Chain A
Amino acid sequence: MSKTMAVTVNVDEFLALNKYEVDEGSAHIVLSEDPDMKEFEKLVRVCPAALYKIDENGATSFDYAGCLECGTCRILCEGTIVEKWVNPNPTMGVELRFG
């Protein structure tokens, strides 16, 4: 499936415009180890921050640092591959200036 998802956009460049206070010490979203590929692919399709990635070798990666805190991954995969989803620690996370 990853090969049919033609992606030309680099969302990281967009996220770089946002204001974040990244909590380096604590991840507010934790995935299960060795996540099921079908579930992971769902998150690749719906995460508006493109935090769920599959590289050309099929390896998965996830980085909570650019999280927009929408909760979409939780609605889809809490109980499958999303093991923990809590709000970021005090004063941490995204800070929208427009919203």
Chain B
Amino acid sequence: MSDFDAIVVGAGCAGSVAAFELASAGKSVLVVERGNFAGAKNMTGGRIYSHALKKVFPNFEEEAPLERKITHERMAMMDASSSVAIDFTSAELAREGADSYAVLRAPFDQWLAGKAEEAGAECIYGIAVEELLKDEGGRIVGVRAGEDEITADVTIVAEGANTLLSERSLGNARPRASQMAVGIKQVFELPPTVIEDRFLLPEDGGAAMLFVGDCTHGNVGGGFLYTNKASVSLGLVATISTAAAAENDTPVYQMLEDFKNHPAVAPIIRGAKLVEHSGHMVPEGGYDMVPEYVFDGCLIVGEAAGLCMNMGYQVRGMDFAVASGQMAATAAVRALDAGDTSAAGLASYKDAMEASFVLKDLKTFRRWPHTMESWKALFTEYPVMAKEIMNALFCVDGTPQAHLIDRIKPIVKQRGLFTLARELRGALKSL
């Protein structure tokens, strides 16, 4: 007889949703979270696309500590001193089901874990699971945290991007440095009205902004900015392998500092008070880095299963986490009811994942991580070219002007029309 029907390791989006669903189905659930409260060790850019959360909590808009609904999308290409940006807003962005929200994980995860507790899950905070317990047949039968050994029929691993248990207890490979990005972020406090003025937002509206180019000093990665209620989250992600390479002469924290001082970014945080500096990894290898995630007595969910996607214009992870947590719980409940929590008994998790948007989207865009990684010009020459074209459009100094086409042609030719066409075609095919 096990101590619990299920143990969930980690109280992030995937773990807390799994615990909520299991407890709601009447199962005994223990959540073990290493932070002193849910979210204490967690960080996001970040924004959550709400469609998956809505399925679990139909009234989440009224209860969850959401920062701002994202009503404005901005993308910018920057070289050392220029920025070419797209600014988009539409009613469709705010449509129910397609809406997304800036969140901060310390408040957000506490709310989510609270929902699991309300549903009947027990939560232990401030202690990390050090290993998964196995029986003589290799089946996972619970967890060890410090001196305590606690058993369960199903263990759900929601440990996040730093996959210690997945590697050390389940035998999955350590992700490669080319499959992982390092994220670095700072939170700056600003009065809500100042945020709305600086981002041209309606009251309570929010903006998300992604940057490519000089923010990572031309390395693979990008900058991000999200508006919270009374703060902004500003940071960048850089693929670990390229940021670590000898060719890169700028440490990531210096990249962030230079990004903050960029003429297009500095005015956004002018006078703002820095309140937190954080770091976190992001799995960016896509479909091809998803490890084995169904074991005898054990399932892996969320970021720990590599469920993230950075498309450059779209960054997703928390919606995958919520959906995978829900699907894992459904499969676990079914297996518990059938009295078979072996890998075969839990296999409906895999079927559900493969039939869902989670693995479908990762599969559709499986080539993009590689395309982006090998497309150096996107981070170096393209931002310069974009600047030169814009300068050709907007700089007026009294010199007699040529027709627009004759001003732009030489700029594009420098890059080579064929090279440009080939690169863009390649990108469009994998995006």
Chain A residues within CB distance 8 Å of chain B: 1, 4-9, 11, 14-15, 17-18, 38, 41-50, 68-72, 74-76, 78, 85-88, 90-91, 93-99
Inter-chain contact B276/A96, CB cutoff 8 Å: yes
B79-111 residues with Cβ-Cβ distance < 8 A to A are 104-106, 108-109
Distance in angstroms between the alpha carbons of A95 and B186 in the assembled complex: 15
Contacts of A7 in B (CB 8 A): 251, 254
Distance in angstroms between the alpha carbons of A13 and B249 in the assembled complex: 22
Contacts of A78 in B (CB 8 A): 174
Inter-chain contact B281/A11, CB cutoff 8 Å: no
List the A residue with the shortest CB-CB distance to B235. A48
List the A residue with the shortest CB-CB distance to B162. A71
Inter-chain contact A46/B251, CB cutoff 8 Å: yes
Contacts of B184 in A (CB 8 A): 48
Lowest 6 A-B CB distances belong to which pairs?
Answer: A48-B279, A71-B162, A99-B105, A14-B277, A68-B279, A87-B128
Contacts of A91 in B (CB 8 A): 36, 126-127
- Identify which of B164, B174, B243, B252 gathers the most chain A CB atoms within 10 Å of its CB: B252
Contacts of A46 in B (CB 8 A): 182, 238, 240, 243-244, 251-252
User: Residue B248 at the A interface, CB < 8 A?
Assistant: yes
Inter-chain contact A68/B280, CB cutoff 8 Å: yes
Q: A-side binding surface: helix, strand, loop or mixed?
A: loop
Inter-chain contact A99/B43, CB cutoff 8 Å: yes
The contact size tier of chain B is 35 or more
26 contacts between A and B (CB under 8 A): A5-B249, A6-B249, A9-B253, A15-B277, A18-B277, A41-B246, A45-B244, A45-B252, A47-B251, A48-B252, A48-B277, A48-B278, A68-B278, A70-B162, A70-B281, A72-B180, A72-B279, A76-B240, A76-B244, A87-B130, A91-B36, A96-B278, A97-B275, A98-B104, A98-B187, A98-B233
Inter-chain contact A96/B251, CB cutoff 8 Å: no
Inter-chain contact A50/B105, CB cutoff 8 Å: no
Inter-chain contact A95/B36, CB cutoff 8 Å: yes
User: Residue B352 at the A interface, CB < 8 A?
Assistant: no
Inter-chain contact A86/B280, CB cutoff 8 Å: no
- Identify which of A1, A17, A96 gathers the most chain B CB atoms within 10 Å of its CB: A96
B143-180 residues with Cβ-Cβ distance < 8 A to A are 146, 161-162, 164, 174-177, 180
Inter-chain contact B257/A9, CB cutoff 8 Å: yes
User: Residue B50 at the A interface, CB < 8 A?
Assistant: no
- Identify which of B186, B187, B279 gathers the most chain A CB atoms within 10 Å of its CB: B279
User: Residue B41 at the A interface, CB < 8 A?
Assistant: yes
List the A residue with the shortest CB-CB distance to B168. A86
Inter-chain contact B182/A98, CB cutoff 8 Å: no
- Identify which of A4, A11, A48, A94 gathers the most chain B CB atoms within 10 Å of its CB: A48
Q: How close is A79's CB to chain B, nearest CB, in angstroms? A: 8
Contacts of A68 in B (CB 8 A): 277-280
Inter-chain contact A72/B240, CB cutoff 8 Å: yes
List the B residue with the shortest CB-CB distance to A11. B253
Inter-chain contact B276/A18, CB cutoff 8 Å: yes
Distance in angstroms between the alpha carbons of A8 and B126 in the assembled complex: 36
- Identify which of B184, B186, B248, B278 gathers the most chain A CB atoms within 10 Å of its CB: B278
List the B residue with the shortest CB-CB distance to A44. B251
Distance in angstroms between the alpha carbons of A65 and B246 in the assembled complex: 27
User: Residue B330 at the A interface, CB < 8 A?
Assistant: no
Contacts of B246 in A (CB 8 A): 1, 38, 41
Inter-chain contact B182/A8, CB cutoff 8 Å: no
Q: How close is B43's CB to chain A, nearest CB, in angstroms? A: 5
Inter-chain contact B276/A97, CB cutoff 8 Å: yes
User: Residue B72 at the A interface, CB < 8 A?
Assistant: no
- Given A68-B278, A98-B104, residue A8 in contact with residue B254 (CB < 8 A): yes
- Given A11-B253, A46-B252, A48-B252, residue A98 in contact with residue B275 (CB < 8 A): yes
Q: How close is B278's CB to chain A, nearest CB, in angstroms? A: 6
List the B residue with the shortest CB-CB distance to A4. B249
Distance in angstroms between the alpha carbons of A95 and B98 in the assembled complex: 32
Contacts of A15 in B (CB 8 A): 277
Inter-chain contact B130/A96, CB cutoff 8 Å: no
- Given A95-B35, A99-B109, residue A14 in contact with residue B274 (CB < 8 A): yes
Inter-chain contact A17/B36, CB cutoff 8 Å: no
User: Residue B39 at the A interface, CB < 8 A?
Assistant: yes
Distance in angstroms between the alpha carbons of A50 and B182 in the assembled complex: 13
Distance in angstroms between the alpha carbons of A69 and B253 in the assembled complex: 15
List the A residue with the shortest CB-CB distance to B160. A71
User: Residue B412 at the A interface, CB < 8 A?
Assistant: no
Beyond contacts A6-B254, A99-B109: 11 other A-B pairs, Cβ-Cβ < 8 A, are A8-B257, A9-B253, A45-B251, A68-B278, A75-B240, A86-B130, A87-B130, A96-B41, A97-B275, A98-B104, A98-B278
List the A residue with the shortest CB-CB distance to B125. A91
Contacts of B44 in A (CB 8 A): 99
Distance in angstroms between the alpha carbons of A74 and B41 in the assembled complex: 17
Q: How close is B197's CB to chain A, nearest CB, in angstroms? A: 22
